[in-house]
Amino acid sequence: MIPFGSANGAPVSLHTIRGPKGLRAAITPFGARLVQLWVPDPAGTLADIVLGHDTAQDYLDHPTYFGATCGRYANRIAGGQFVLDGADFQLDQNEGSNHLHGGHAGFDKMHWQIADLGPAHITLTATSADRDMGYPGLCAMTTTYRFTDTGTLTIDMSATTTRPTVINMVNHAYFNLAGHGAGSVLGHHLQVSAGHYTPVGPGLLTTGEILSVAETPFDFRTDRTLSAAMGQDPALAGSYDHNWCLSDPLDGDGLRPCARLKDPASGRSLTLRTNQPGVQIYASGQMHRAFPGKEGRAYHRFAGLTLETQVFPGSPNHPHFPAARLDPGQTYAHRMAFTFGV
């Protein structure tokens, strides 16, 4: 443990967990956040492949959700409104008139508690009060980061509630396999196991449609570079910030293939599996100004790519989307499994 500054007047710490082959990750309880992720290249040279900041206060000063556990409902809900069991709920409106990533005081702004810490794992817990940011039910949450013996990094997010509610927790790490300050990810190769996506309209709000990716810039069923795919459609000049609907069934481990990301320049790759039905991919195209990052680096447009496994955006208002409902006695359980290669 090392000091990581303070946030909202409370001290913040940083904790390192380790895996085989030099893999290591640094996590802070502030936002249950992944701050560093060190991964080797083919020569064994390590690089930190996630964007972030050097102190906790920097995350407040430059709100980009780098590495955070987001919720109660990550992604967007139009008007911040939904109906549950006939009751209307108005959520915090923190992106214009809409609700994004749990509101202005979502899970990413919380000081989580360390429930368990070992050489290869850390478990963090927090609670969200009934009507916190407008949501019904007292919610108890857990996030665990763990390296397996084979070098897979798993992120497990879970929650329970005292009243029927909606939940969609995500990990919001931005990846750049060349290193967090190495520049653009547009040369990265991406493959996504998805035959459909959910288009968006004004305000990046999902329209409720589910469309085929065939013959569109959203077709990553085979390996493509981000730049080549975006070049198909001038409307994507703002880059990807969309949900893909994962196609493959769950396997014996309860996970399905999600995405594979490769960087030809560094030789690093990552493969992601999840138990969730969708993944939000954001290529940081809306970062129209430089953000100060770790080690004095500046992060510009297209500096990183998110892979936020999730239920679909706006699910509480689209009954044909996967359900985000959580009832008392149930446990929300979300797993991501990252495998790193060269």
- Please give the Cα distance from 25 to 144 (Å, whole number): 12
Residue 120 CB: number of other CB atoms within 10 A? 17
Q: Tell me if residue 188 is catalytic.
A: no
* Interstrand relation of 305-310 and 278-282 (parallel, antiparallel or unpaired): antiparallel
- Please give the Cα distance from 226 to 35 (Å, whole number): 25
With beta carbons less than 8 A apart as the criterion, state whether 146 and 325 touch. no
- Please give the Cα distance from 16 to 32 (Å, whole number): 13
| Region for residue 256 given its phi and psi (left: phi exceeds 0; alpha: psi -120 to 50; beta: otherwise) | beta
- 152 φ, ψ (degrees, to nearest 5): -75, 135
Element (H, E) at 291: strand 291-292
With beta carbons less than 8 A apart as the criterion, state whether 156 and 146 touch. yes
Q: Tell me if residue 95 is catalytic.
A: no
Q: Which amino acid is at 31?
A: G
Q: 99, 101, 242, 308: which is the annotated catalytic residue?
A: 308
Q: 172, 242, 318, 334: which is the annotated catalytic residue?
A: 172
Neighbouring C-alpha atoms within 13 Å toward the C-beta of 227: 9
The catalytic site residues sit at 172, 308
